[in-house]
Amino acid sequence: MLHYQVMSETDSITAPMIEEFGAGYRMTPREKEVFRLLILFGFRNDDMGSVLHISTKTLKNHMACMMNKTKTRSSRELQALFLQFMLQRFRHNLQS
């Protein structure tokens, strides 16, 4: 049986990277909030909407805007792009 560990919103490594990634793509504060729920917790649209107290339609609009800004076509591609960003940052930090 697999056990998954949910990351904290205040994770000292991931939280600043999410902020930097979002700023690099000019995400709005709300888009970064949605992105944080997607990346740290892997929430589905209806779960994110409930947590943020917004409709699924509004959430889908935020997701579409983020995907447009990052030129991704799905939430999985968006997650993969962020993982690639993290790996590049870690590599850069190791070389410094």
Q: Which domains does the chain have, with CATH numbers?
A: 22-95 (1.10.10.10)
Return the HEC string of the chain.
CCCCCCCCCCCCCHHHHHHHHHHHCCCCHHHHHHHHHHHHHCCCHHHHHHHHCCCHHHHHHHHHHHHHHHCCCCHHHHHHHHHHHHHHHHHHHHHC
How many C-alpha atoms does 93 have within 13 Å on its Cβ side? 8
Q: State the number of CA atoms in the 13 A half-sphere of 3 facing the CB.
A: 1
Q: What pLDDT score does 69 carry? A: 97
Helix 45-52 × helix 29-36 angle, to 10°:
130
pLDDT block averages, 10 residues each, the chain of length 96: 48 82 96 91 88 93 96 94 92 78
What pLDDT is recorded for position 73?
96
